[in-house]
Amino acid sequence: MATVDLKDVKKVYPGGVEAVKGVSIAIPDKQLCVLVGPSGCGKSTLLRMIAGLETISAGTCSIDGKVVNAIGPTERDIAMVFQNYALYPHMKVYDNMAYGLRNRGMPKDEIDKRVRATAQTLELAHLLERRPRELSGGQRQRVAMGRAIVRSPKVFLFDEPLSNLDAKLRGQMRVEIKNLQRQLGVTSVYVTHDQLEAMTLADVLVVMNAGLVEQLGAPLDIYEKPASTFVASFIGAPPMNLLPLRSGQLEGAVSLPAIPTNAATIGFRPEDCEVGADGAAAEGGLRLMARVQGVEPVGAESFLYCEAAGGRIVVRVPGRTAVAVGDQLPVLTRREKLHFFGGDGKRV
Ligand SMILES: Nc1ncnc2c1ncn2[C@@H]1O[C@H](COP(=O)(O)OP(=O)(O)O)[C@@H](O)[C@H]1O
Ligand SMILES: [Mg+2]
């Protein structure tokens, strides 16, 4: 059982780089918290401060209600899984998993029991005698996780653990990590720049930007109500369409919704567009004429890349489409699917 509590945590590196500028996150027991954001936004720095691998410049990090700022990494009872696995190449899988326990002076039969039980959980039992180079990428990643799990730590920390795997394996491992985390009930912090990974894994999703938290909440709540244009364009693929409102009007719009006075940008998701729809559905909604510039059929759906109202938008339609480049289409978004943002980029 463990909670992780960050209060106004900051990090200034010796060179003067302000990597984390005041972050507060409370992670409840047994929950999986995902930190997502573009490269360089401070995710790894924050994770390394929780691990005790980086000093905390200001603020506090508490584990189970106890401030750990001054406590070394080994005493924090945390296990970390990295992108590059960091397995010992000359050691068998068994020894890679047993290494940390031996270092702690655990009795041999207890180590054996734990390693074999963990190997069972991770379906590694038949690979215990192999060396890392004799394993696939997914198996190596599983060994790296096994090495973390075998210690039964209070908290798991993951730093982009799946980035080295191909897309298919990444999808499988994502499901495995989620199930495993549920099953073990270990409070976890998971760092990724991949919004899909973040959405699917998180109990608590934290969107970071330039050393600060842009938004924190349940993944679907964030998806449905992004707090800023930054979040709107980061979460969801393809991202939300954002069009500037010039003096309250949208160039060439067929029909316009009532626009909040302080709105500077209107947003709508590609999947919330109805093509060719009209009539009653348009009431109070946004209706644009779009000129198709590109069509991307991906099987289950097709993406139409269009020019509309002086900007570019993406429209998502199910399955095959007869739409071709050069077509002019009416595109409708219902009132309740529209998002408005102010001049500062914040939701209004
Ligand atoms: N050891 C370091 N010394 C100085 N600056 C660093 C160090 N590590 C990271 N940074 C800087 O801190 C910022 C955040 O980095 P990082 O936490 O690695 O971001 P992320 O993991 O989100 O990509 C970046 O500007 C990076 O260049
Ligand atoms: Mg990083």
Question: Which bin fits 194, alpha (ψ -120 to 50), beta or left (φ > 0)?
Answer: beta
Contact 152, 183 (CB under 8 A): no
Q: Which of 47-61, 100-114, 160-174 has the lowest mean pLDDT?
A: 160-174
CATH code reported for the domain at 238-341: 2.40.50.140
| Per-residue pLDDT tens over the stretch 123-177 | 899 999 999 999 988 889 889 989 988 988 999 999 998 888 888 888 888 988 8
Give me the pLDDT at residue 259, please: 87
pLDDT at site 284: 82
Alpha-carbon distance of 342 to 28, in angstroms, equals 33
Whether the predicted pLDDT of 257 surpasses 90: no
Residue 85: pLDDT band with limits 50, 70, 90? low
Entry field: residues in the chain: 348
Q: What is the mean pLDDT of residues 223-240?
A: 96
Answer yes or no: is the C-beta of 42 below 6 A from any ligand 1 atom: yes
Give the residue from 114, 194, 204, 188 showing the smallest Cα distance to 160.
194
- On whether the pTM is more than 0.95, the answer is no
Give the closest ligand to the alpha carbon of residue 35. 1
Ligand 1 pocket test, pick from 9, 11, 12, 13 with the greatest ligand atom count within 8 Å of Cβ, gives 13
**Residue 20 pLDDT class (50, 70, 90 cuts):** very high
Q: What is the DSSP string of 30-94?
A: T-EEEEE-STTSSHHHHHHHHHTSS--SEEEEEETTEE-TTS-GGGGTEEEEETT----TTS-HH
| Per-domain boundaries in the chain | 4-224, 238-341
Nearest CA to ligand 1 atom 27: 40
Binning pLDDT at 50, 70 and 90, where does residue 280 land?
A: low
> Is 97 a pocket residue for ligand 1 (Cβ < 6 Å)?
no
pLDDT exceeds 70 at position 11: yes
Phi and psi (nearest 5°) for 212? -130, 160
Q: Which is nearest to 157 in space by CA: 43, 248, 78? A: 78
Report CA(20)–ligand 1 centroid distance (Å): 9
Position 282 scores a pLDDT of 63
Q: What would the DSSP string read from start to end of 234-279?
A: HSSSSPPEEEEPBTTB-TTEEE-----TT--EEEE-GGG-EES--G
How high does pLDDT run on average in the chain?
Answer: 92
Which ligand 1 atom sits closest to the C-alpha of 15?
4
258 vs 108, more confident = 108
Evaluate if residue 252 carries a pLDDT over 80. Answer: no
Structure tokens at 343: 């001049």
Answer yes or no: is the C-beta of 38 below 6 A from any ligand 1 atom.
no
Backbone angles phi, psi at 293, to 5 degrees: -110, -20
Across residues 53-72, what is the average pLDDT? Answer: 97
pLDDT over 70 at 255, yes or no? yes
Q: For domain 4-224, give the CATH superfamily.
A: P-loop containing nucleotide triphosphate hydrolases (3.40.50.300)
pLDDT for res 47: 97
More confident residue, 284 or 337: 337
For residue 38, the CA-to-ligand 2 centroid distance in Å is: 9
Q: Ligand 1 within 6 A of 40 CB?
A: yes
6: Cα separation from own chain's centroid: 19
44 lines ligand 1 (CB under 6 A): yes
Q: Write down the pLDDT at residue 248.
A: 62
| Look-up of token digits 């039964």 | 152
Strand-pair partners of 40:
none
Pocket flag, ligand 1, residue 83 (CB < 6 Å):
no
Question: From the CB of 192, is ligand 1 less than 6 Å away?
Answer: no
Which pLDDT score is estimated for 279?
A: 62
Whether the CB-CB separation of 330 and 279 falls below 8 Å is answered with: no
Instruction: List the one residue out of 210, 191, 155 whose CA is nearest residue 44.
Output: 191
51 C-alpha to center of ligand 1: Å? Answer: 15
